[in-house]
Amino acid sequence: MRLLRSLLRPPRPAPPGYRQGQSPAPGAREYFYYVDHQGQLFLDDAKVKNFITCFKDKKFLVFFFKQLQLNRSGRYQDAFPYLSPCGREHNFVRCDDRPVVFTHVLRGRAGGELLSYCGGGEQLAVGFEPHKLALLPENGRLYHPGPPKAGGVGLVKSALAFELSSSFEYGQGAGAPPTHFRWQGERYALTHELLPLLRAHGSA
């Protein structure tokens, strides 16, 4: 498959050196989470990570991911590059690729199309910009702009990427990214503007 390589692999092992609910200062608490390539959220040290053990409460997911930002706290920045703060509680986040994972295309209330992420429906969504879809040749994964404070780019879930794959046009030789994307009767020239960002920060 030209669009995506297999994503069926076990989660990366949890980094050592933390304890869930630890208190580095009076009144403060720290928790540690993991987001897989399907956009599912888990406690990082959960031994089994699958649909049964992931968080499913929509209200919690919406709050958690709306707070998500780059970790500039000075703690665990290498192992957990993202942070979802809640008052004195710091929720450190690491991920298989990107913490924002787009799972569905939705029709927004104003008529435009949305990309929904991480189980939040319309409450966790960005406007769909077909011309900004970016296929990274190095790993075969598809990306789209995401919330700026969470790094500005999100991964497109493999199932959704497969649905979109037939709409890409290629014209620059083997191994090159697609040049155009056909959507809802329109033909979009792809800007590839996310590729420098993806390469600068690395993708799994």
Does an H or E element contain 144, and which?
strand 141-145
| Domain final position from 75, 95, 115 | 95
CA distances to 36, 78, 139, 145 from 199, in Å: 20, 17, 11, 14
Q: What is the mean pLDDT of residues 123-152?
A: 95
The whole-angstrom separation of Cα 197 and Cα 195 is 5
Q: pLDDT at position 1, please?
A: 40
Closest Cα to residue 157, out of 168, 146, 149, 172? 146
Q: pLDDT at position 161, please?
A: 96
77: Cβ contacts below 8 Å, ≥ 6 apart: 71
The whole-angstrom separation of Cα 169 and Cα 95 is 30
Q: pLDDT at position 14, please?
A: 58
Residues 167 and 126 in one domain: yes
Residues 117 and 176 in one domain: yes
Q: How much of the chain exceeds pLDDT 70, in percent?
A: 87
Longest pairwise C-alpha distance within the chain: 59
SS3 70: strand
The model's confidence at residue 15, banded by pLDDT at 50, 70 and 90, is: low
Residues 88 and 110 in one domain: no
The whole-angstrom separation of Cα 9 and Cα 143 is 19
The whole-angstrom separation of Cα 29 and Cα 159 is 36
Domain count, the chain: 2
Q: What is the mean pLDDT of residues 192-203?
A: 84
Q: Is residue 165 part of a domain?
A: yes
The whole-angstrom separation of Cα 31 and Cα 10 is 22
Q: Is the confidence at residue 13, as pLDDT, over 80?
A: no
Residues 174 and 195 in one domain: yes
| Domain final position from 47, 78, 95 | 95
Q: What is the mean pLDDT of residues 3-7?
A: 42
| Structure confidence by residue, pLDDT tens digits, 91-105 | 999 999 999 999 999
Q: What is the mean pLDDT of residues 127-143?
A: 94
Q: Is residue 171 part of a domain?
A: yes
More confident residue, 39 or 112: 39
Q: pLDDT at position 56, please?
A: 96
Tokens standing for residue 201: 């920060």
- What is the bridge-based pairing of β-strands 89-95 and 29-35? parallel
Q: Is residue 19 part of a domain?
A: no
| Structure confidence by residue, pLDDT tens digits, 182-192 | 999 999 999 99
Q: pLDDT at position 8, please?
A: 42
Give the range of the structural domain holding residue 124, as residue numbers without chain letter.
101-201
Residues 84 and 165 in one domain: no
